[in-house]
Structure 1
Amino acid sequence: MEAHPPRHVTLGLFIWMASLPSSPIILATASSCDFPAIFNFGDSNSDTGGLSAAFGQAPSPNGETYFHHPAGRYSDGRLILDFIAESLGVPHLSAYLDSVGSNFSHGANFATAGSTIRPQNTTQSQSGYSPISLNVQSVQYSDFKKRSQIVRSQGGIFETLMPKADYFSKALYTIDIGQNDLTAGYKLNLTTEQVKANVPDMLGQFSNAVKQIYAVGGRSFWIHNTGPVGCLPYSLDRFLITAAQIDKYGCATPFNEVSQFFNHGLKEAVVQLRKDLPQAAITYVDIYSLKYTLTTQAKKFGFKQPFVACCGHGGKYNYNSQRRCGAKITVNGTEVLIANSCKDPSVRIIWDGVHFTEAANKWIFQQIVNGSFSDPPVPLKMACHRTENP
């Protein structure tokens, strides 16, 4: 399904870009970047198999639309990261933790579903959050860089499965993380103000991770802010929300305010990182605005039922935390799938109550690839060029 914004939205994008802080557009004479590899860090929004490798495969019908079988992604198909890779001519990234059939010649994915910026004081089975927090991912990257070259030097098949040494400085480093840190606070019954109070520490640890990646070779960073947590069926079902806290579209205002608070701080952190890392090109991408627009104006873009999960079981949002997408029960000794997918995922936004469908991910990618929602407003293929404010 191809969903394109109507003309008035295109005009809106033009107006939005005109209102951006003065930041020079890269000259037309500048060459497109040659990104031979991608190294990704994050959570389930960009996990291509990390959590599945560690704790068991994301079950069918995950992956049904594109891969036609479970493929480590919590979606019916491709993620935004997959579309980024395709646009740069790079293969879909193998998860660093996956030992079966992985090819790291053009990068590696350190993201795992449930990951947070700050390490959580709970196990994965207790809270659902991954032990592979961002600081762990940055250590894994550093270790991978060293060991991959030792392995590559052995020649043969090993040489073909590992990135070349110069790929690390030329690669694109993508980061999408933070959403789980916000919901983790609410799971601990913190108030909105208490969750906000933790944001500076989250951002401090985020910046440290970027600096660590930079210290061992990273130069071009493509950083997504976090989406509107208050629009997810997971949040609307899981947390206590009063009618007065629901906006006119159906999203929970307090949770979205926290997301925006985090994003404001993240943008400031990126500005500081540009000062601290003189050779880095850092692009901040406003994923929040796109996900909120898509959810609240779904019909305009050809989507339906924006608050109802495509794959789930029961309830107002077709979401049940105890019977998530792919859940089965045993009836008379036979396993029966009770949380199956909807008939047409291509017109749905939310896949399983938490994650987006391939169609929604593709729509979002189509909006960000040309730089319309980036600061500085440069296309993905120009993201290796550092710009300076006058």
Structure 2
Amino acid sequence: MTFILIIFLLLAARVARSDSSTCNIPAIYNFGDSNSDTGGIAAAFYPPGPPCGETFFKRPVGRGSDGRLIIDFIAEKLGLLYLSAYLDSIKANYTHGANFATGGATIRRVNESWFLNGVSPFSLDIQVEHFNQFKDRTTYLYNQAKDESQRINLPRPDDFEKALYTIDIGQNDLAYVFRTLGVEGSRVVIPDIISQFGASVQQLYWKGARSFWIHNTGPIGCLPVTHAKIHDPPSGYLDDIGCVKGQNVIAMEFNKKLRVKVANLRSNLPEAMFIYVDMYSAKYQLISNAKNLGFEERFTICCGYHDLDEDVYCGNKGKINGTEVFAGSCKDPTKVISWDGVHYTDAANHWIATQIANGSFSDPPVSITETCPKHMSVL
């Protein structure tokens, strides 16, 4: 009977560990760029119009996709509502976290603007400052409230330490240095980018963050908008699947140094849990095996026109070969990896999120449902 009881308890624990409430994560606080922006840059500047959002939300909702982003699927996995953008005050609900990411954001501040090259003014250090203000002000309002009716849409102060802090940023830093220094020249600034990333994470830690889920940067050389600009490339310029080899090499160097930085943070901040997620490998696996996974040709762009000399961006009108066109969406976005040449479709984001959520691409290999502070027991 004792043996049977032990087996029952072990099975029950295993079931509990696979459940989305394993860690009882009450909130997510997200930082990043357009890969995880749920409406921040749209609220600050101009929102994306149709056909963005058409597949899942059935209308534009501030995301650079036809539907959900990876952060949306992470919220679903944890049983939480989709994150409201910090910069969007209309009907925002912050009881389950907040999203500080903005499209075009970088880790380092760069000397460009949203109007010049689409670079967000809300770099990672500014996003962290927004979080600092958010935590201080909401905690004050929560504690000053006389009853629960005055706490509607406010986060519980105790939840900040229990929350999951997700970070997905760095792609725009590489794009910026490619543009200004060239691919080879970009190597010299990677250490500074990584250093500033570490400083921002430490700021979050000092503000009470204890569980970090950190994405590395994807294969930027595989972006279809980049591939569309290539004409008669020299030998060795592209890799075996057609991605720009040099750009991906730099992305991998960035990721290698990021992994070392995360390991250092893990050693220096022992009260926190740090999970490093290899998004590069997950995305490259999807792109490499596009057709086997039910997608069309890997460099197909669903929304927008891009070639060597001309661009008409998703949802806009423009001229291609002298003919005015509207850059609408493709017939079936669920069969395409790239939404607009840079961002992924709902279907592609769902595939990637499914792969990373169980810890298969993580160091250490921990499921997202088990990414809780070390002092909190995992069922």
TM-score, L = length of structure 1? 0.86
2:287 is the counterpart of 1:295: yes
Give, as a single letter, the amino acid of the residue that structure 2 aligns with 1:375: D
- Rounded to whole Å, the distance in 2 between the matches of 1:288 and 1:354 is 14
2:344 is the counterpart of 1:356: yes
Aligned to 2:255: 263
Deviation readout 1:158-196 (Å, 9 max, x if unpaired): 4111100011000000000000000101221x1323211
- Rounded to whole Å, the distance in 1 between the matches of 2:325 and 2:138 is 41
- Rounded to whole Å, the distance in 2 between the matches of 1:269 and 1:49 is 29
- Rounded to whole Å, the distance in 2 between the matches of 1:385 and 1:96 is 24
- Unpaired runs of 5+ residues, structure 1, are 1-26, 331-335
- Rounded to whole Å, the distance in 2 between the matches of 1:141 and 1:107 is 10
Which of 313, 319, 324 is the aligned partner of 2:313?
324
Which of 178, 181, 195 is the aligned partner of 1:204?
195
Deviation readout 1:226-277 (Å, 9 max, x if unpaired): 0000000222345898332011211000000011000000000000000111
Q: Is the 8 A contact 1:41 1:174 kept in 2?
A: yes
Return closer, same or farther for 1:119/1:240 CA change in 2, 3 Å cut-off.
farther
**Higher radius of gyration, 1 or 2:** 2
- Rounded to whole Å, the distance in 1 between the matches of 2:306 and 2:221 is 20
CA RMSD of aligned residues (A): 2.1
Return closer, same or farther for 1:29/1:299 CA change in 2, 3 Å cut-off.
closer
Deviation readout 1:98-121 (Å, 9 max, x if unpaired): 011111111000000000000111
Q: Percent identity?
A: 49
Secondary structure of 1:243's partner?
coil
Deviation readout 1:22-50 (Å, 9 max, x if unpaired): xxxxx969962111000000000000000
- Rounded to whole Å, the distance in 1 between the matches of 2:230 and 2:178 is 8
Aligned to 1:277: 269
Which of 227, 232, 235 is the aligned partner of 1:236?
227
Q: Is the 8 A contact 1:222 1:283 kept in 2?
A: yes
2:159 is the counterpart of 1:171: no
Q: Is the 8 A contact 2:213 2:277 kept in 1?
A: yes
Aligned to 2:63: 73
1:331-370 map, 5 Å: 338-370=326-358
1:52-71 map, 5 Å: 52-71=42-61
Give, as a single letter, the amino acid of the residue that structure 1 aligns with 2:96: H
Q: Which has the larger displacement, 202-211 or 293-302? A: 293-302
TM-score, L = length of structure 2? 0.88
Aligned to 1:11: none
Q: Is the 8 A contact 1:313 1:340 kept in 2?
A: no
Aligned to 1:226: 217
Deviation readout 1:265-302 (Å, 9 max, x if unpaired): 00000000001111110000011011111111101111
Return closer, same or farther for 1:87/1:134 CA change in 2, 3 Å cut-off.
same
2:372 is the counterpart of 1:372: no
Give, as a single letter, the amino acid of the residue that structure 2 aligns with 1:174: T
Which of 149, 172, 175 is the aligned partner of 1:180?
172
Secondary structure of 1:295's partner?
helix
Give, as a single letter, the amino acid of the residue that structure 2 aligns with 1:324: Y
Q: Is the 8 A contact 1:312 1:320 kept in 2?
A: no
Give, as a single letter, the amino acid of the residue that structure 1 aligns with 2:156: K
What is the total number of aligned residue pairs between the two structures? 352
- Unpaired runs of 5+ residues, structure 2, are 1-12
